[in-house]
Amino acid sequence: MDDKTRRIWAGLVSYANGTATPAEIRATVVDCAGWIAATMPFDVIDPTLVEDDLSKQAEAYRPDIEILLRFLCSQPKSEERNSLKAQALEFLREHGEHIQGRVFRETYYAEEYLRNLNYTPDELEKFKKQVKRIFDQAQYEKYHRGQPTIVGEDTLPLGLLLPSRGYRDFADPICDFLSSEYERYLNREVNRKDKKAPPLVPIFVCPSCKKLVMPKRIGQRNYCLQCSDRARTEKYRQHASPDEGRDYAWLYRLLHHESGARKVRLSQPKVKQRLAEIKFRQKNSQRCQGLLQDLRL
């Protein structure tokens, strides 16, 4: 999975979970649309689109996008898949019809606009090169002191026109991305029987908090980060030896003795004996091991 695809999935997940900022939402939609559609003025994601308008659209479509994502990552034959199917398909069909097969747009590039869209400097550089190449190779009228001059190599028959896609609303590029990913999944090469099939979508629903999750490592499906941290703490608490708290407190006090007094204590056979016991008894206790390390033992 390339960086851009990963970024889009992560962006869609935080959008659907309701945690994305307006700037992040805009960046995700722009990523879905691709740079040609995204750099065009007066297109769906119009550069002049005011923040307010974008937020309104984003809020209006959020529940449907969430349903669509949950439907796509639902388990086969599950209750969830059954109950979300009708609504998800209707939404996908409706916006699928908005996506025009082909439109032609005239090359447009405004760097300050693109810089606000979360693109990395590398990508901006790439766009700049792409646009410059088109301006070099196309033939077009350039105005110099009010006088038109024909410039360019004319090696591009379509001139400044670029084939792109037309979108009607905010949800269209997202539905386009999800449909294309689905299409890519259907068209994947299935030639090695022993190789496990890749997941249809990289995202999943956390079984504990029910939020959508984009894992750090694709194929990893367990809990979201917060829930797996909580589960680990709980497991640790259940497995901790009953003396763990007392041993920890004892080590803590020892560590915070004034260094002279600590040296004296550490030379006592009784203390030495207990330290050896703790070292063994609390080998699974990270915090006790941490203190032992601080004591340099």
List contacts with Zn ion (CB under 5 A): 206, 208-209, 224, 227
Q: What's the chain's length in residues? A: 297
Closest distance to Zn ion from the beta carbon of 222 (Å): 10
Paired tokens of 141:
């009228």
Nearer to Zn ion, 74 or 285 (CB): 74
Closest CA to 93 of 82, 81, 102, 85: 85
Rounded Cα distance between 216 and 226, Å, is 13
Nearer to Zn ion, 173 or 215 (CB): 215
Nearer to Zn ion, 175 or 224 (CB): 224
Closest distance to Zn ion from the beta carbon of 214 (Å): 12
Rounded Cα distance between 269 and 254, Å, is 15
Closest distance to Zn ion from the beta carbon of 245 (Å): 28
Nearer to Zn ion, 61 or 223 (CB): 223
Nearer to Zn ion, 85 or 210 (CB): 210
Rounded Cα distance between 56 and 188, Å, is 37
CA angle in degrees (0–180, nearest 5) for 110-47-184: 90
Closest distance to Zn ion from the beta carbon of 205 (Å): 9
Closest distance to Zn ion from the beta carbon of 206 (Å): 3
Rounded Cα distance between 107 and 36, Å, is 8
CA angle in degrees (0–180, nearest 5) for 112-162-182: 90
